[in-house]
Amino acid sequence: QKRTVMSGIWLGLAAALALMTKYWVLTMIGAAGLASLLHPDRMRFWRSPAPWVAFAACFAGLLPHLWWLKQADFLPLIYADDVYGGRTFGTTLRLASIYLAHNLGLLLLPVSFAAIALAWKLQWWKSLRRRGFIGEFIASARRPWVRGPNSGVFLTQARNIWIMQIIVALAPPIAAVAFGIYMKTDWGISLFFLVPLALIALPTLRVTQMALIRLMLMWLVFTLVMLLISPIIAAQTVRRDGDAGVPFAPKSEFAMQLTEAWRARFNRRWAVVAGTTEIGEPLTFYSPDHPAPLTPREVWASGLTSLEEAKQRGFIGICDTKDLELNKCEAWMAENAPNAERLDLTSRRYFHGKAGPAVKWKIWIVGPERPDEEEDK
């Protein structure tokens, strides 16, 4: 609707900010572009300055990030290809199916709440006695749908939303199967923003203010109830599964334990933690020393430290005994920390007094090359 230069600037800056948040926003940007090409007024849009100004504004907004990517040797892209690329057809087909099933399941609850809020009727029990369960169910399902013009819906804008919704829902899993990409459920986050708009944009669906208030109250009650019962669910899950269940590692306590162990030995700040991303990043966050994470065997490291610096300043290496690549982790530690102090630690979390599954860690403590030298400030 707006095809001015200023609209193009805002569109381009929004696209740049979104891309710097998550690269998979490209799916949404691509969906918006395809929607504009499929729109009946596409020629009016593409002949205006808005799309071309948007391209220029997006590129200008991304220039600092592109320069950083070049300086970092494009490690984020190498990381994405290393972690999510190169999958077999069978694996990607299974993961794409799981992706669709998970997102449909996640959408089922909010859509059900919306259906109840829209179909709700005051003193519904009287209608239930008069019509019976089946009759009242059919009447409730028909109640929000009204034929005729709807002044609150602009079909040109609604058409854009529907096209983008279809593309965002179907294009990623199809592309994943075609190009061997590992699909993750959280890549469907865009669906949760567009589904309400896609439903409200239906001309025959009437959404009243009371329906929105009911939906908000249902969401609030559901959220509070889940917050209250979540500790009970966790305790019951631990009691049911025992040591065979999913381990809940007490990362904050583990970080404090390792920090105290390091300071007791060397009386200085813990500088580097070596381990997988799942291990190192939480310890960097929870430890008061905030050691720089070093990820063994990965070319797409954080860039906050290096192996040479880790050996100079000392580090704590950690391997999770339940890691599928435990042998590779141990081999790296044996190669780079042959004279390290070895420890085996076991940690577990407690839920309402019930101990969760044990998490066993293998620890390598490598002291600094010059332990008596003060840390650089």
In this structure, what token pair is assigned to residue 361? 């860690």
| Residue 52 one-letter amino acid | W
- The CA distance from 342 to 277, in Å, is 21
Show the CA angle centred on residue 128, arms to residues 122 and 134, nearest 5°: 125
Residue 142, domain member (yes or no): yes
Q: Say if residue 154 is in the same domain as residue 189.
A: yes
Closest CA to 347 of 243, 248, 246, 217: 248
Q: What is the pLDDT of residue 360?
A: 86
Domain that holds residue 69: 5-75
Q: Say if residue 275 is in the same domain as residue 351.
A: yes
Residues in the chain: 377
Q: Say if residue 133 is in the same domain as residue 184.
A: yes
Residue 105, domain member (yes or no): yes
Taking residue 352's Cβ as centre, other Cβ atoms within 10 Å add up to 11
Residue 172, domain member (yes or no): yes
Q: Say if residue 48 is in the same domain as residue 157.
A: no
Q: Say if residue 362 is in the same domain as residue 258.
A: yes
DSSP H helical segments within 242-300, as ranges? Answer: 251-266, 277-286
Q: What is the pLDDT of residue 377?
A: 44
Averaged pLDDT, groups of 10, the chain, 377 residues long:
86 92 85 86 87 94 92 82 83 91 88 87 70 74 79 82 87 89 82 83 86 91 93 79 66 90 93 90 93 83 81 92 87 92 84 75 89 54
Q: How many domains does the chain have?
A: 4
Q: Say if residue 218 is in the same domain as residue 319.
A: no
Listed residues 75, 104, 127: the one ending a domain: 75
- The CA distance from 39 to 45, in Å, is 9
Closest CA to 33 of 193, 232, 168, 216: 168
Q: What is the pLDDT of residue 15?
A: 93
Cα atoms in the Cβ-side hemisphere of radius 13 Å centred on 366? 24
- The CA distance from 148 to 262, in Å, is 73
Q: Which residues contact 40 (CB under 8 A, 6 or more apart)?
A: 156, 159
Taking residue 318's Cβ as centre, other Cβ atoms within 10 Å add up to 22
